[in-house]
Structure 1
Amino acid sequence: MSEADAPAPSSQVLALKLPFDDYELSVDEIYYAEGAQDLLVERCMEAKGFEWSEIERPKFGDWRNRRRYGVIEKTIASRYGYHSVPEILAPTVVAERREQREKHLSPNARAAALEDGKGCWETTYNRMWDGIEMDQPLFNKLSAKGLEESQETGAVSSLIRKWSDCMKGEGFAYSDPYDAATSRAWSKTKKPSTREIRVAEGDVACKRRTNLVSGWVREESKIQLKYIRDNEKYFSTLRHQKRTYLQRARSIIETHGRQP
């Protein structure tokens, strides 16, 4: 399955924003910086007598929260049920282009580009990240903790009960969206069954009828903002490191006079 086969993220997905998003690189930002690094690799390879082709990195928008609250798009539910495939979590076309580029390198060019400790890719990567360290473990821990805590708030608990009642009306008995998504019945098959698709479609419909996702985002945002206030120095540093990294990428692009 190629990236082009997967339904594009809906406007609802692209609008799903949480406070923590400002402190972590999005896919588009990662690709932007990778494009800048490509320019450095190209010049490094030229100095060694080899060519390095830049790859196109389209802008996709921010997909990071697409499955944070389970399946929320009917197009996804109808095609995949609760099955997870890479194409619906992040674009894969750029990774495929990277693989094709490496595949076409001669043995000597591959060594010049990818040799451990000496290759152009590693040396330019180190240059991009020199002095920058984004402490992701704590960020990821707080992100997971906030999602868990949000489910226990009165507002979200009430919405989840309404969602569960809605699902019962559709003929499905599940206590919460994760209960539905992680059913063992779905993990036994490579492709979604007819029942799995029906349950997933009911799940999406009930989320919309109860406004579960918007209410959940609102409550989790409150929790994340509290974490940011309680860990002000940490998040301030994280934001500074992110900005420094992107500014470094921008400087490289501007120096070489073209977009990656």
Structure 2
Amino acid sequence: MAMIRVPDTELERMMRRGLLLVLVLGVLSAACGSSAESVDGQDAPPPVPAAGVSLPAPAESVSPDQGPLFLPVQKYMFSQHEVFEISKAQWVMLNSCLERYSTPPVDFRGSDPAEGDSYRMSRRYGPVVRADVEKRGYHVPDSWTGAKSQDPGAPLTEKQNAVMYGSGSAPKGVPPGGCVGEAARRIAGGGDVVGKSSVAGSINIDSFNLSKSDPRIVAGFTKWSACMKGKGFDYSNPLDAVGDAAWSTPEPSAQEFLVAQADLECKSSTGLTETWVQVESEFQESEIQSRREALEGESRSREAQLKTARDILGGRR
């Protein structure tokens, strides 16, 4: 039997995180954050911080011993578990459709995320959780990238491809877009997008991009960099550290563990993580207020999609 693995897309390289597009056979995507380097196609040059700018006291402390971060817009986004549920429901619908056209089924190769970071936010500013650093350095969990997965199995047959995607050699009567398209439409309930919160994702991307040029964060980078130099490491900001090409190895090196630990300690001693969360939260809360109607519409669509997916998985549809 041919096997289809539902890929866990690797996070954007420089931050080991990014706009998570979890594709289910090419049709399912879920936006769960990004660290793209531009906003609306325009690079945002960091301004020179004003004289005397210092990091404000954060409203809440971010301890390196606590769990992952939380930002306001996440409540409007699909979690990784919810993406998994929708993926699995689409697979059920896909195989039901394949059976109608006497086509062999495909195996589901996704896995329910086991990590506690359900929105994969713990690497937004580089690692911020001590246990994460001690275990992986700058490397991300295998489940995020699909590393060490099982053998993908036999390739799809010509007929499976045709029926799944509705190509020219598909049998008569195959729905538009093939069985993949039919499954997506079933979950979407007539909507255009499956498993994706576009407005929330845009806010999430923009807040990160804009935060990097905020004077408070620029000042924080300066303090963090000075702290790192005091420990023998020369990086201008945490994104440079996490994106060091030296860490492109199958397993973390001893040097990687040392740098990642120093990075975490300097984030903690300078208050950079707290300030970064504060700056992004301010932007996100403002955007949520101004775009509430669109966000609430996405939330209704998200809940409807999840209900449909759970009904399918429970055999109620």
TM-score for the superposition, normalised by structure 2: 0.60
Quick one: percent identity of the two aligned structures? 26
Q: Which residue of the partner structure matches residue 310 of structure 2?
A: 250
**Aligned pair partner of 2:211 in 144, 150, 154:** 150
Alignment-mate amino acid for residue 27 of structure 1: Q
Give, in whole Å, the separation in 1 of the partners of 2:133 and 2:282: 29
Q: Which residue of the partner structure matches residue 239 of structure 1?
A: 299
Give, in whole Å, the separation in 1 of the partners of 2:216 and 2:277: 11
1:247 and 1:163, CA in 2 relative to 1: closer, same or farther beyond 3 A? same
Residue 113 of structure 1 pairs with residue 164 of structure 2: yes
Q: Which residue of the partner structure matches residue 46 of structure 1?
A: 99
Trace 1:204-243 onto structure 2 (pairs within 5 A): 204-243=264-303
Q: Is the 1:133–1:241 Cα contact (8 Å) retained in structure 2?
A: no
Give, in whole Å, the separation in 1 of the partners of 2:191 and 2:240: 40
Alignment-mate amino acid for residue 65 of structure 1: M
Trace 1:70-219 onto structure 2 (pairs within 5 A): 70-73=126-129, 87=142, 90=144, 92=146, 99-100=152-153, 103=154, 105-116=156-167, 117=176, 119-133=178-192, 139-151=200-212, 156=217, 159-182=220-243, 186-187=244-245, 190-191=248-249, 195=255, 197-219=257-279
Give, in whole Å, the separation in 2 of the partners of 1:210 and 1:78: 20
Q: Is the 2:68–2:121 Cα contact (8 Å) retained in structure 1?
A: no
1:13 and 1:105, CA in 2 relative to 1: closer, same or farther beyond 3 A? farther
Give, in whole Å, the separation in 2 of the partners of 1:158 and 1:98: 47
Q: Which runs of 5+ in 1 are unaligned?
A: 4-10
- After superposing the two structures, state which structure 1 stretch, 133-142 or 41-50, moved more: 133-142
How far apart are residue 97 of structure 1 and its match?
6.4
Give, in whole Å, the separation in 2 of the partners of 1:33 and 1:98: 23
Alignment-mate amino acid for residue 93 of structure 2: L
How far apart are residue 159 of structure 1 and its match?
4.4
Q: Which residue of the partner structure matches residue 29 of structure 1?
A: 82
Q: Is the 1:42–1:52 Cα contact (8 Å) retained in structure 2?
A: yes
How far apart are residue 208 of structure 1 and its match?
3.0
Q: Which residue of the partner structure matches residue 125 of structure 2?
A: 69
1:96 and 1:123, CA in 2 relative to 1: closer, same or farther beyond 3 A? farther
How far apart are residue 189 of structure 1 and its match?
7.5
1:199-234 deviation line (CA, Å, top 9, x unaligned): 333112222333432342233223211110011222
1:90-132 deviation line (CA, Å, top 9, x unaligned): 2527x956943xx265443443334434532232123222432
Give, in whole Å, the separation in 1 of the partners of 2:134 and 2:77: 31
Give, in whole Å, the separation in 2 of the partners of 1:127 and 1:98: 30
1:170-207 deviation line (CA, Å, top 9, x unaligned): 1234332224344xxx3378437765553333112222
Q: Which has the higher helix share?
A: 1
1:140 and 1:257, CA in 2 relative to 1: closer, same or farther beyond 3 A? closer
Give, in whole Å, the separation in 2 of the partners of 1:173 and 1:229: 40
Q: Is the 1:207–1:213 Cα contact (8 Å) retained in structure 2?
A: yes
Q: Which runs of 5+ in 2 are unaligned?
A: 1-7, 9-63, 168-175
Query: 1:132 is paired with a residue of what secondary structure?
Result: coil
Query: 1:131 is paired with a residue of what secondary structure?
Result: coil
Give, in whole Å, the separation in 2 of the partners of 1:81 and 1:129: 39
Question: In the comparison of the two structures, how many residue pairs are matched?
Answer: 240
Give, in whole Å, the separation in 2 of the partners of 1:50 and 1:13: 49
Give, in whole Å, the separation in 2 of the partners of 1:98 and 1:32: 23
Q: Is the 1:163–1:207 Cα contact (8 Å) retained in structure 2?
A: yes
RMSD (Å) for aligned C-alpha atoms: 3.8
TM-score for the superposition, normalised by structure 1: 0.71
1:173 and 1:52, CA in 2 relative to 1: closer, same or farther beyond 3 A? same
